[in-house]
Amino acid sequence: MSTKAAPLVHTRSHALQQRAERYFPGGVNSPVRAFRAVGGAPPFVERAEGAYVVDADGNRYIDYVGSWGPMILGHAFPPVVEAIERAARNSASFGASTASEADLAERIVACYPAIEKMRFVSSGTEATMSAIRLARAATGRKIIIKFEGCYHGHADGLLVKAGSGVATFGIPGSAGVPEEIAGLTIALPYNDLGAVEAAFAAHPDAIAAIIVEPIVGNAGCIPPHLGPAGFAPELVDRMHRQQRKAWEATVGPADYLAGLRLLTRQYGALFICDEVMTGFRVALGGACELYSLDPDLVTLGKIVGGGLPVGVFGGKQKYMDMLAPLGPVYQAGTLSGNPLAMAAGIATIGYLQEHKTEVYSRIEATARAVFDGVSQEAQKANVVLCGNRVGAMWTWFFTGGPVRNYEDAAKSDTAAFGRFHRAMLDRGVWLPPSQFEAAFLGTAHGEAEVQATIEAAKEAFRAA
Ligand code: KE4
């Protein structure tokens, strides 16, 4: 049987791409959508429902991008659509407070005990940018530690050795970021506690915060080290006795994320968990719930807005109350807490809360089935591939692996990934168009989608 799929017709998408290039650089409003990393012209989406998107030429795809995470309940989920429609009838925005903001905030704090107070913004970038400003104000320090391959949005200081689109285009950072700003960011290898300890030892009173994707999604999916191995042995001996006893009693030896928490406490820096991608994704309470984290600040986005523009930064009240109008840290936003976005978030988070067990067990089982099934097809076809998965976010890397940090991920054969991506697209499966991104699915994906995806991969591995 031929494994060659007839390439889908993209006539209208091509025409729309040409028109878009008249107005937008590369024809896109976000670089990764240009498909530069995988080649070929990007399909333009016309509509989507459940697990499927339909492009401008009427081609239908099983969607594993899900708007880069938000669509955990599937596209056009009726309760979310109806909530937005109801809110829109009362006007789209007021520039004044509404009850809906606290209605969503109540749901967020119920899921995130670490968030005592918060503020809504309109993107993950705004959330992380604001959290960094708060950390610098709270500590009076300037330096930020981030990790290679982690992406926290496009604020100047965070575009240092970033992941996602920056890694996709293989650029170290971005033009236009003055070295005076980039120089305040230390980028370290993920999953290496010794490197963090050395950075603190070299700058003991200068580091304002660590910001981390607790589960990396923007270098492709990379989970944190759990359990033994991680701390340099000599560091463990230097830990303050009480802290070490308390720490080892709770999380066991050398757990990466707990190690970051311990080091930030030891050196007086803030611990910022960037859960824009993992929040409500890997558990209702995100990685904080999964790994019992107690960060000083948390950033959220994507799912919390149900597909509409919402970012959140929040955490300990003593830090959040430093924000204007109470304190000296300024931050603002015309559409922050927008009532339509709040309505979408309330409907989404409310549904996840009400159906927590059913939702997370379902997406875990579906993701395991598709992740394992495609990995087995690669093995049968002698394709060099490894993968990482946490819940319903995962990445297949075209390298032997293991992939524990960005350096490992960068060994992937991105050309092979590009061929696989196009072969799957031609077979009606839309994967994230970059080796350095995570794939997502939601409650609308089921057995039929799993089997169709595995069948497409079986053919694609043989054709690519
Ligand atoms: P936004 O500003 O794009 O809403 O959020 C930035 C951001 C912050 N933190 C994390 C962990 C993120 O994953 C993101 C954004 N994620 C990318 C996808 N990897 C957005 C997709 C895009 O850039 O088009």
CA distances 158 to 120, 144, 260, 384, Å, are 20, 9, 18, 33
Q: Is 164 in the pocket of ligand 1 (CB under 6 A)?
A: yes
Q: What is the mean pLDDT of the chain?
A: 92
Hey, which of 29, 30, 277 would you mutate to test ligand 1's pocket, going by the most ligand atoms within 8 Å of its Cβ? 277
Quick one: 108 and 137 in the same domain?
A: yes
Judge whether 186 and 199 are in contact, CB under 8 Å: yes
- Ligand 1 centre distance from Cα of residue 153 (Å): 5
Length of the chain: 464
**Token pair listed for 347:** 């409907």
pLDDT, tens digit, 9 for 90 and up, residues 183-204: 999 999 999 988 999 999 999 9
- Ligand 1 centre distance from Cα of residue 154 (Å): 8
Residue nearest to atom 20 of ligand 1 (CA): 68
pLDDT at 237 > cutoff 50:
no
Mean pLDDT confidence for 356-364: 98
pLDDT at 2 > cutoff 60:
no
pLDDT, tens digit, 9 for 90 and up, residues 22-72: 999 999 999 999 999 898 889 999 999 999 999 999 999 999 999 999 999
Domain assignment present for 2? no
Among 162-171, 314-323, 350-359, the minimum mean pLDDT is found in 162-171
Domain assignment present for 72? no
Answer with the residue of higher pLDDT: 18 or 172. Answer: 18
Among 45-54, 231-240, 279-288, 392-401, the minimum mean pLDDT is found in 231-240
Q: Is 276 in the pocket of ligand 1 (CB under 6 A)?
A: yes
Domain holding 22, by residue range, is 11-64+357-463
Q: Is 117 a catalytic residue?
A: no
- At which of 354, 380, 409 does a domain end? 354
pLDDT at 232 > cutoff 50:
no
Quick one: 124 and 39 in the same domain?
A: no
pLDDT, tens digit, 9 for 90 and up, residues 239-264: 444 455 555 555 444 589 989 999 99
Rounded (10°) angle between helices 414-425 and 447-463: 120
CA 139 – CA 209 distance, rounded (Å): 9
- Residue 293: per-residue pLDDT: 93
Q: Is 264 in the pocket of ligand 1 (CB under 6 A)?
A: no
Q: Is 151 a catalytic residue?
A: yes
Domain assignment present for 71? no
Helix/strand/coil (H/E/C) assignment for every residue in the chain: CCCCCCCCCCHHHHHHHHHHHHHCHHHCCCHHHHCCCCCCCCCCEEEEEECEEEECCCCEEEECCHHHCCCCCCECCHHHHHHHHHHHCCCCCCCCCCHHHHHHHHHHHHHCCCCCEEEEECCHHHHHHHHHHHHHHHHCCCEEEEECCCCCCCCHHHCCCCCCHHHHCCCCCCCCCCHHHHCCEEEECCCCHHHHHHHHHHCCCCEEEEEECCCECECECECCCCCCCCCCHHHHHHCCHHHHHHHHHHHCCCCHHHHHHHHHHHHCCEEEEECCCCCCCCCCCHHHHHCCCCCCEEEECHHHHCCCCCEEEEECHHHHCCECCCCCECCCCCCCCCHHHHHHHHHHHHHHHHCHHHHHHHHHHHHHHHHHHHHHHHHHCCCCCEEEEECCEEEEECCCCCCCCHHHHCCCCHHHHHHHHHHHHCCCEECCCCCCCCEECCCCCCHHHHHHHHHHHHHHHHHC
> Tokens 């986005």 sit at which residue?
301
- Residue 41: per-residue pLDDT: 85
Quick one: 196 and 339 in the same domain?
A: yes
Domain assignment present for 426? yes
CA 386 – CA 375 distance, rounded (Å): 7
Judge whether 62 and 366 are in contact, CB under 8 Å: no
Torsion (CA) 193, 194, 196, 199 in degrees, nearest 10: 180
Helix/strand/coil (H/E/C) assignment for every residue in 108-176: HHHHCCCCCEEEEECCHHHHHHHHHHHHHHHHCCCEEEEECCCCCCCCHHHCCCCCCHHHHCCCCCCCC
Quick one: 49 and 37 in the same domain?
A: yes
What pTM, to 2 d.p., does this model score? 0.94
pLDDT at 448 > cutoff 50:
yes
Judge whether 461 and 383 are in contact, CB under 8 Å: yes
Domain assignment present for 4? no
pLDDT at 404 > cutoff 50:
yes
Q: Is 321 a catalytic residue?
A: no
Q: What percentage of the chain has pLDDT greater than the value 70?
A: 92
pLDDT, tens digit, 9 for 90 and up, residues 113-149: 999 999 999 999 999 999 999 999 999 999 999 999 9
Quick one: 381 and 331 in the same domain?
A: no
- Ligand 1 centre distance from Cα of residue 214 (Å): 14
- Ligand 1 centre distance from Cα of residue 124 (Å): 6
- Residue 142: per-residue pLDDT: 97
> Tokens 């990482």 sit at which residue?
388
pLDDT at 438 > cutoff 70:
yes
- Ligand 1 centre distance from Cα of residue 76 (Å): 21
Q: What is the CATH number of the domain that holds 365?
A: 3.90.1150.10
Domain assignment present for 368? yes
Quick one: 237 and 122 in the same domain?
A: yes
- Residue 4: per-residue pLDDT: 55
Q: What is the CATH number of the domain that holds 327?
A: 3.40.640.10
Quick one: 259 and 149 in the same domain?
A: yes
pLDDT, tens digit, 9 for 90 and up, residues 69-123: 999 999 999 999 999 999 999 999 999 999 999 999 999 999 999 999 999 999 9
- At which of 354, 379, 403 does a domain end? 354
Residue nearest to atom 23 of ligand 1 (CA): 30
Quick one: 102 and 248 in the same domain?
A: yes
Quick one: 103 and 26 in the same domain?
A: no
CA 98 – CA 336 distance, rounded (Å): 11
Quick one: 127 and 182 in the same domain?
A: yes
Q: Is 159 in the pocket of ligand 1 (CB under 6 A)?
A: no
Judge whether 298 and 288 are in contact, CB under 8 Å: yes
Quick one: 188 and 220 in the same domain?
A: yes
- At which of 354, 376, 407 does a domain end? 354
Q: Is 29 in the pocket of ligand 1 (CB under 6 A)?
A: no
Quick one: 253 and 136 in the same domain?
A: yes
Domain assignment present for 34? yes
For the chain, the domain total comes to 2
Domain assignment present for 1? no
